[in-house]
Amino acid sequence: MNHPVSVARPWKEAVESFVHPRVLSMLFLGFSAGIPSLIIFSSLSLWLREAGIERSAVTFFSWASLGYSFKFVWAPIIDQLPVPWLTRTLGRRRSWMLLSQIAVIVSMVFMALVDPAAGDQSLGFMFLGAVALGFFSATQDIVIDAYRIEAAVAELQAMMASAYVAGYRIAMITAGAGALYLADLLGSSQGAYSYSAWKTTYLIMAMTMVAGVATTLVIREPEQNASREKVVTDYAYNARFFGLFVLSLGGFLMMFHYSGIMLTGFENIMKQVTGNDYLGGFIMETLRLCLSVVAAVAVSEICIRAGLAKREMVIKTYVEPIGNFFQRYGKNLAFLLLCLVGLYRISDSVLGVIANVFYQDMGFSKTEIAAVSKTFGLIMTIIGGFVGGILSIRYGVIRILFFGALLSSATNLLFMVLAAHAHHMPLLYCVISLDSFAGGIASAAFIAFLSSLTDISFTAMQYAIFSSLMTLIPKIIGGYAGTMVDSLGYPVFFFITAIIGVPVLVLVWFAGKYLAVRHS
């Protein structure tokens, strides 16, 4: 993979990359990734509510999305193990991609065949289907990210990311508003539940995944994989490796589950101490995550001492990907880059926590907010993404990374203007459009930058770590958003969200400077 400090390219080459076959393929793969994600996060909860399921049980289904939060745990499996027969036929990335897509389709069909209103047993089957969908959808995300990074040179990464985001956004409409529209059209609504309507809707949503399957069969395996060493065919080694992973994952999940029960009192204490439910909850979840990691490490150590697995397996799987990053960039530069990864989207993320509440406080209805954000906001995000991709090729990723961070911070100041005008629809359109456009540019450059930081030997694992890290600090600070608004007011809060983006500009400048020197 080439370095992110790429040289400027002619405009013709930048525009032509828009229709590059690998770029176009990411549009469909992004769509394939977005469909199951929105099924879990949006449509499923409404189906359950229409079926008469209690709110407490509906929220319990949010556990189905845990796979997205912990996908770095099994990302090494994607890097290390082959899929029997498929890997020899399709290659390492395409085989895992096809397997995960088929599993997603099977999970959605399974859910479609279960009526959650038929009783507790049916609701249990629905939960199992949702958990399976979340797991295989997160697995698909891991593979697509790895494929995107390996399938094209660094100069194309921004456009690949732009196409992926565009496909994902289109899927959000399809599996979000589209699924709800279908269920309503087929005769199901609040107070007039129809299982057949939701069954047909989910079967149709499963059919849309054919776009991803067809794309997987058409695209070529990345050349880097084709030229790499042969896939390990020692099935005894692979079985022991997989067994070690399953046992460690079991320890991780059991600790995560039971720690949530045991630490309920601690969470309440943290919420009272911090005076912020978001921050208290975040501290609680962080502690649960740490305890779960310790449990997984303990299980791995027990397996090693019992002779069920070799220590080299663990080192190669989890230690080497991290050590490789620090070895390639050196300790100082590596920490600088990690700081940049963790802070880059902080301005947008912190503001995003309170955005919908702000719109409501300004007198906008839910319908008005949804109409603006799902039309102009969506369109401008897609346009911004492709503009960011073209500019990254023309001027280099680092320059557009800086430009995107600057725009993201600057557009937060527009919310100060909106705060001074209650229920001003033209201004709402303007602010959301510009903010979404800036976010699209920043996202395209940032994803391209993250992609270039990975090593071909540990693509899935390293990118999974980066994608988890980039939400950590914004979540911590975002927990204080409500408290800050209550004490300072919206205008001052928005000014602060713009100011906290300034250190990011400094980090981008230093990163570009040191990376340029290192690779000159």
The per-residue pLDDT for range 263-283, each reduced to its tens digit, is 778 778 877 777 766 667 767
To which H or E segment does residue 26 belong? helix 21-38
Q: With 80 as the cut, is the pLDDT of residue 380 above it?
A: yes
Q: Which of 15-19, 129-133, 259-263, 363-367 has the lowest mean pLDDT?
A: 15-19
Helix axes 92-112, 210-218, angle to 10 degrees: 160
Q: Are residues 210 and 342 in the same domain?
A: no
Q: Which of 104-108, 117-121, 318-322, 478-482 has the highest mean pLDDT?
A: 104-108
- Of the residues 309, 342, 368, which one is the last residue of a structural domain? 309
Higher pLDDT, 170 or 313: 170
- Of the residues 309, 339, 367, which one is the last residue of a structural domain? 309
323 domain-assigned: no
Q: Is there a contact between 284 and 266 (Cβ–Cβ < 8 Å)? A: yes
pLDDT for position 233: 52
Euclidean distance between CA atoms 81 and 11, whole angstroms: 41
Euclidean distance between CA atoms 168 and 154, whole angstroms: 21
315 domain-assigned: no
* Letter string b/e over residues 137-148, b meaning 16 or more CB atoms within 10 A of that residue's CB: bbbbbbbbbbbb
3 domain-assigned: no
Q: Are residues 130 and 172 in the same domain?
A: yes
Euclidean distance between CA atoms 96 and 150, whole angstroms: 14
CB-based contacts of 113, cutoff 8 Å, min separation 6:
199
Confidence at 219, pLDDT banded by 50, 70, 90: very high
pLDDT for position 227: 42
Confidence at 217, pLDDT banded by 50, 70, 90: very high
Q: Are residues 290 and 336 in the same domain?
A: no
Going by C-alpha positions, the residue among 43, 47, 50 that lies closest to residue 190 is 50
Question: 């390219």: which residue's tokens?
Answer: 9
Euclidean distance between CA atoms 69 and 294, whole angstroms: 17
pLDDT for position 173: 82
pLDDT for position 140: 94
To which H or E segment does residue 297 belong? helix 277-305
Euclidean distance between CA atoms 376 and 383, whole angstroms: 10
Of all residues in the chain, what percent carry a pLDDT higher than 70? 87
- Supply the CATH number for residue 472's domain: 1.20.1250.20
pLDDT digits (tens, 9 = 90+) for 65-78: 667 767 777 888 88
Q: Which of 112-121, 131-140, 291-300, 310-319 has the lowest mean pLDDT?
A: 310-319
pLDDT for position 506: 95
Q: With 70 as the cut, is the pLDDT of residue 333 above it?
A: yes
Q: Are residues 122 and 24 in the same domain?
A: yes
Q: Is there a contact between 342 and 352 (Cβ–Cβ < 8 Å)? A: no
Confidence at 1, pLDDT banded by 50, 70, 90: very low
DSSP secondary structure string for all residues of 169-198:
HHHHIIIIIIHHHHHHHTT-BTTB--HHHH
How far are the Cα atoms of 203, 313, 357, 482, 483 from residue 488, in angstroms, in the given order?
Answer: 49, 52, 16, 10, 8
322 domain-assigned: no
176 domain-assigned: yes
To which H or E segment does residue 95 belong? helix 92-112
Q: Are residues 117 and 207 in the same domain?
A: yes
Going by C-alpha positions, the residue among 159, 67, 54, 72 that lies closest to residue 104 is 67
Provide the domain limits for residue 342: 329-518
Residue 516 backbone phi and psi in degrees, to 5: -65, -40
Higher pLDDT, 379 or 18: 379
Number of independent structural domains in the chain: 3
Euclidean distance between CA atoms 493 and 358, whole angstroms: 11
Q: Count Cβ atoms below 10 Å from residue 55 Cβ, excluding itself.
A: 10
Q: Are residues 226 and 268 in the same domain?
A: no
What is the chain's mean pLDDT, rounded? 83
Q: Are residues 267 and 171 in the same domain?
A: no
Helix axes 459-469, 331-343, angle to 10 degrees: 60
Q: Are residues 417 and 449 in the same domain?
A: yes
For the four alpha carbons of 130, 132, 135 and 138, in that order, the dihedral sign comes to negative
Euclidean distance between CA atoms 482 and 365, whole angstroms: 20
Q: Which of 78-87, 361-370, 386-395, 468-477 has the lowest mean pLDDT?
A: 468-477
318 domain-assigned: no
Q: Are residues 260 and 404 in the same domain?
A: no
pLDDT for position 403: 95
pLDDT digits (tens, 9 = 90+) for 229-240: 444 456 677 777
Question: 């990345």: which residue's tokens?
Answer: 222
pLDDT for position 188: 84
Question: 């008005």: which residue's tokens?
Answer: 368
pLDDT for position 494: 93
Residue 64: exposure state from Cβ atoms within 10 A (0-12, 13-18, ≥19): buried
| Average pLDDT over every residue of 502-512 | 94
124 domain-assigned: yes
317 domain-assigned: no
Q: Is there a contact between 280 and 101 (Cβ–Cβ < 8 Å)? A: no
Q: Are residues 337 and 220 in the same domain?
A: no
- Of the residues 202, 230, 258, which one is the last residue of a structural domain? 230
Q: With 50 as the cut, is the pLDDT of residue 202 above it?
A: yes
What is the 3 state secondary structure string of 418-464? HHCCCCCHHHHHHHHHHHHHHHHHHHHHHHHHHHHHCCHHHHHHHHH
Euclidean distance between CA atoms 139 and 141, whole angstroms: 5
Confidence at 297, pLDDT banded by 50, 70, 90: confident
Q: With 70 as the cut, is the pLDDT of residue 93 above it?
A: yes
Q: Are residues 240 and 337 in the same domain?
A: no
Q: Are residues 364 and 428 in the same domain?
A: yes
Confidence at 55, pLDDT banded by 50, 70, 90: low
